[in-house]
Every structure is written in C-alpha cells, then in structure tokens.
Structure 1
Amino acid sequence: MRAERICAVIPAAGRGTRLGLGIPKIMVEVAEGVTVWHVLHQRLRPHVEHVHVVMSPEGEGPFRALAAAEIAAGAVSVSVQEEPTGMGGAIFGAAPHWSGHDVVLVVWGDQANLSPSTVRRVAETHEKGLTLPLVPMPDPYVEYELDDQGVLTRVRQSREGDECRPGGLGDVGVFCLDVAGLHEEWTRHLGQAAVGATLGARTGEVNFLPFLPHLSRERGWPLTVVPVADPGEARGVNTADDLEFARRAYLRWAR
C-alpha cells in the first residue's frame, strides 16, 4: 500500500438489546477487564493513524471513561449518533473526523473475532478505491456477488428479505475505502434512495452495504478482495452464544 493516512471509524451506537446486558456491545467483556473495544483497538492500532468511535447518547459517557487514556493522547475520538438511522448515517455523520485522511477503514463495533492478520492484510493491500476482506460462509447472513471481472454487482441482505446462498461470500465487518470523492458518492447514493432506488425492502432504510456496489458497479471504483479463510471472523457479538464464541476465540488468541 502507498504511504497513506488511515482513519478507522467504528460505528458502535447500537444498543445490543439481544445481549440483554444494558451496555453497548463494544463495551462487553470477552475476558476479565478486556472488552470488545480493547480487542478492536489492539487490532487496529498498528495500522491506522487515528480511531474514531460513533456512540449512542447514553453510551458516550461510559465509553469515554473506558477509552479515557487513548482519547487524552489524541489517538481516539468520539462522536454521537443522536438517532439510530443506520450505519451509513453513523459513518458519514462522522465525516469531519475522517475527511482529512486518505483512507477510511470502517469496522463494525462488535467484530471481536477479527484477526490481526486480516487487518494487516487489508491495510497493506489497499491501493485504490475499495478493499473488502471476504470469506465463504456455510450460511451467509449477507452475501456479496461479484461478476467475472471482479465487479461487485450486488449485496444480498437477509434482513431485507434477500435469499443468501450457502457457500456465498460474506464480510467480516471491515470495509476499506478511499476518502477522495467518497462523501460526494454517498450524496449521489442518497439521491437515488430518495426516488426508491436503494431503500431496504423490509427496513426502508438507506443501508451502507448497497453503497458498495454503487461504488464498484455504477461508479467504476476498483475493488480488491482480500480472501479470509476462517468464517468465525465474520461472527459479530449479537447473542449470548456469539459472546461465548468470542470469549473462547479471545482465549485462543491470548495464548
């Protein structure tokens, strides 16, 4: 990768209601004194210049206390998503914090199983446009369709009623994009959504994931796929079973 300034953005304003713990998922412990935040920060820190975290209004104070040392050092910043309008709103609402960098590395705030090697390979591989680490999944919740030229043509989402196919490519909650022209493309995408072109079939939301084929298929942004072998990396922390999986995975990494 060229010598570029990377800002990691972690949308973490979700309430984590399915976990039933009453705290943001990024603050959930995967070991004693070790939260999802600590795992993500450890993974990201060697490869990014800055980390920006987007929290809910009620989560902001507790997270600022958790990450007080990193915030005081200027390595981490925090903003608030006042209304839960989706990941796209969180990412682009935080644009003032990443727009001065060359590259934005978006990481979902519950990806406790993300490996150090995946983050490193994405940071080292990204050259231009869009870089996605993707993994074949037995039963993908989200599926990425590429054509023979490597263009991303569609993202299927189970939550929007799409049928994802066994063995299809899923993401690991990491998306690396050039900053130049990105906000303008998001505005163009929103304009299409206003006439019903990109709204989710079930949620009615303007989701972030359909923005990716907008960049690749419609706007010609080059796409680089970083292959991931372990489907466990795609597993976020949404349920008690997911949390137990993340805790076992962390113990393996800690050894």
Structure 2
Amino acid sequence: MPKSRTAAIVLAAGKGTRMKSRKPKVMHEIANRPMIGHVMAALKPLHCDPVVLVVAPGMEDVAEAAVSAQIAVQREQLGTGHAVMAARAALKSVSGDLLVLYGDTPFIATATLEAMLKRRRGTDDPAVVVLGFRPDEPGGYGRLVLGASGGLDAIVEARDATPEQRAIGLCNSGVMALDAERMLPLLKELRNDNAKGEYYLTDLVALARGRGWDCAVVEASVAELMGINSRADLAAAEQVYQDRARAAAMEGGVTLLEPGSVFFSHDTRLGQDVVIGPHVYFGPGVTVENEVEIKGFCHIEGARISAGARIGPFARLRPGAAIGPDVHIGNFVEVKNARLGPGAKANHLTYIGDAEIGGGTNIGAGTITVNYDGFCKSRTVIGPNVSIGSNSSLVAPVTIGAGAIVGAGSVITENVPADAMAIARGRQVNMTGRAQTFRAKRKKTKTTTKAKPAKKAGARSGAKRKSGK
C-alpha cells in the first residue's frame, strides 16, 4: 500500500457518564449535528488518509455518524495512550504526519489543524507538536513547560507540578500532531505505573525528548478547545455556536431583528438582504436566497426559499418544501414536500403537502391538500393562475388545470379541467320565515322543561326512619 502523507485518529470511546445519557457523549448535537460530525467536518479539507475513529464496544451509532472513518474498538478504557494503541493496526501504511484529536472538542478549526501540520513540518523537524491554550483558570490542566528556545520541554500534570510550574498559564489540550514514523513505535514504551493505571499519550513528549528530538507548541483560543462533559457544557457550546452563526449571518448581509432569538443549524445557508424576524428556527438543510423576508415565529427545515419570497409569521416549512421566487407563505401555513411556483400565494391557515402549485396561483384560507388515506401519500397538482376558494379540501390524487377556479368550501375529489369552475358542496336552501318559527318553538320547549328543584339530601332516608318508629 502507498504510504499516506497525513493520517488522523479521533478518540471517541468515552462514555460521558456526566451527560447521564444512554447515547455516547459525542452523539449529542450542537446546531443539529453530532459533536463527532463537527470534528469530522474540520478534518475533511485536510484529506487525511486514513481517519481512524476509536470507539468503545456498542458504539455503532458513532461509527455510522463518521461515515468516512475506519473504526477501531478500544475494549477497555485505559487512557488516551491506550486508545491510540487500539488504532495502531489501522496505521500500518502511515509514515507521514499523524493528528490525534478528540470527538468531544467540536469547535476545533481546520486552520488550527493546518497550523499544527505546518509546524510539524518546520525546519527543526519536531517529533511532537502539542496544541496549547491559555484558560482564565488553569486549574487541573496539564502545564506546557517551554525551553529557552521556545520549544516544548515537558508536559507536567497539575497534581505533579511545582508552584512555579502551576503558575504557567499555557495548558495542554491533548490534541497532537506526531511524526508517525518516529512516534508510533514508541507507543509500546508507554507505561501505566500511575495512580489511575492508565497509559497517557502525553508521555510521548518525554519519550521524544529523551531521544533528543524537538517538540513544539501551537496555541489556539479557549473557545476553540471547549470540551463537552455535561449537559451544562452542551448548552454553553450551543450558545457559543449560535452567537458565532448570528454574527456571521449579519456580517454576510442578513438583518436579524432580534439576533438572540434566532436559531441556526450547522448547514443553514442565507443570501444577502434577507430579513429574519424574532424566534425563527432553522432546522437542517435550509437554503434561503437573496431578499427573502422571514417573519417571526417560523419553523423551517429541509426547505429551499427562492429570492423575494415572504414567509410567515407563524409558518412552518417542512422537508421537501421548495418555495419559488416571490411566493407568499402566510400565518399558520404548513408546507411539506411541495413546490410552489413563482408568485404563488398561501396567506392563511393552510396545509400544502405532497403538492405542485403553479406560478400565480392563490390558495384560499383554510385550504388543505388531503394527501394521506391512512396507508399511502398521494400528490395534488395545481396549475398556474388557479384560484382555490377558502376552506377547500383537495383530495389527492387530483389535478386542477391552469386558470381553474375552485369555489369556497368545496371538497374536490375529481380532476378539474383548465379554466373550469368547480363547486363541490351541498346546495344552499333558504326557508323564508323559518328562523322565527324555530326560535319560538325552542323558547316554548325551554320553558316547559325547566329542571325541578333537587331534593334535599337524606330526605327520603329520613322519612323511612320516621315511619319505622
């Protein structure tokens, strides 16, 4: 096999007991994407080969979420060094650089990983490059001890550090870039003679320095290296992501009327001059083109909204909704798996599911496409420039031709030809004077059937007691 230039190991075997969840920690989502998905996305532009995902037994869902990775199973949880050992068999063809990162650090950036690889390939040829950061409270983080030349001399765990070393603000994130050819053979020299009985990957620095090889540090921001260990951490990470997404949207030409109330997914795509009202939720798979207005309290997922459309307020666009240019979707309108042509309108209280709506068509208030018979979904096709009257039910499968008119309150069960008028409802009958007669009759009935006063509790039983004397 040809030897690869760069490979990667993602450590994701941790159970995350502090999450108090039956699913693996790295499967908890930020912006509607599992944590492991964010990490894999950061790696993708680097074209690492292979990418080895280290999981614990029973983590099939994690393996499925990282579709491009080879899977290695860490049978016992014996430390980070042991996790890398579990991936060793998948790295036989690797002789270049090896990135080691963590599935619960979702914000690590591609640019940071590139900086680590660039440093690894520097003229001083460091065997190990460690990613460091400077938290406000270093606390229990391992400290990175630098030499006079700026190289990394050692990683000292907080509990083993001297007072002078604990004063160091530069801390270890655990992320590394290794020279695979030199460092992978040293995995067998890792020892677990420590309080936890674990194999620590950080011991590779001491092994490298013991052979006279240089080690180096690249720094990243605290926010980028934010780890997720609890539900509170997950909520904080979501907030960080949303704040970044909102700032990026506004920087890109989007107006957010109340930024803090708008929720984006990891793949939300917005054009310029888009205006978004308060409390709008974007689920996965949404694309919004230029000059769209989305009013408040809308829920949108799996939808494409073309230029000039106006959505909401209180509208719901579900997967498969394709909203054409200059379409109006109004309050309490739901669209699912349906395409609306240019200039179509559904302004009030309407359900459009499994449908094709032609351009210029107006859907009256209260209209529904009756797309489900309890067993199968069927499709409604409405041509251009059609007028559907309010409170109509279109029972699919049905086709309404171009320019047709459907009378209000109709239940359409058969195809309507182009330019025809369809009315499908009971015929109105006016009975002169009948309202007066009806009211008089009802008043008389009400008077004669007034409820009698209820008997007092115990009256009958009391009588019995008296007669029994």
TM-score by length of 1: 0.82
Q: Distance in 2 between matches of 1:185 and 1:139?
A: 33
For 2:8, the equivalent position in structure 1 comes to 8
Higher relative CO (CA 8 A, sep ≥ 6), structure 1 or 2? 1
Question: Does the CA contact (< 8 Å) of 1:16 and 1:25 recur in 2?
Answer: yes
CA contact 1:98–1:104 (8 Å) conserved in 2: no
- Mapped to 2, the partners of 1:26 and 1:243 lie a distance apart of 11
Q: In 2 relative to 1, CA 241–134 (structure 1 residues): closer, same or farther, beyond 3 Å?
A: same
Change (3 A) 1:173 1:207: closer
CA drift at 1:98: 2.1
Does the alignment pair 1:222 with 2:214? yes
When the two chains are superposed, the root-mean-square deviation of aligned CA atoms in Å is 2.3
Structure with more strand by fraction = 2
More helix by share: 1
Name the SS for the 1:245 alignment partner. Answer: helix
Higher Cα radius of gyration: 2
Please show how residues 78-97 of structure 1 align to structure 2 within 5 Å: 78-97=71-90
8 Å Cα contact 2:35-2:106 kept in structure 1: yes
Residue 183 of structure 1: how far off its partner (Å): 2.9
Q: Distance in 1 between matches of 2:8 and 2:106?
A: 15
1:243 aligns to what SS in structure 2? helix
The aligned amino acid for 1:66 is A
2 CA distance for matches of 1:252 and 1:50?
Answer: 33
1:150, distance to aligned residue in structure 2 (A): 3.5
Give the distance between the partners of 1:212 and 1:157, measured in 2 at CA.
13
Residue type at the aligned position of 1:145: V
Match status 1:177 vs 2:178: yes
Code of the aligned partner of 2:11: P
Are residue 42 (structure 1) and residue 41 (structure 2) matched? yes
In structure 1, how many angstroms separate the alpha carbons of the residues matched to 2:16 and 2:169? 27
The correspondence for 2:109, drawn from 115, 128, 148, is 115
- Matches of residues 1-255 of structure 1 in structure 2 within 5 Å? 5-32=5-32, 34-47=33-46, 48-59=48-59, 61-67=60-66, 70=67, 75-101=68-94, 102-127=96-121, 128=125, 129-140=127-138, 141-158=141-158, 162=161, 165-187=166-188, 189-190=189-190, 193=191, 199-200=193-194, 202-215=195-208, 217-228=209-220, 230-254=221-245, 255=248
**TM-aligned CA deviation for residue 112 of structure 1:** 1.4
Gaps of 5+ in 1: none
**Number of corresponding residues:** 234
Distance in 2 separating the partners of 1:240 and 1:153: 36
TM-score (norm 2): 0.46
**Structure 1 residue 145 displacement after superposition:** 1.0
Identical residues among aligned pairs (%)? 26
Alignment gaps of 5+ in structure 2? 249-469
Cα 1:117–1:248 shift into 2, 3 Å: farther
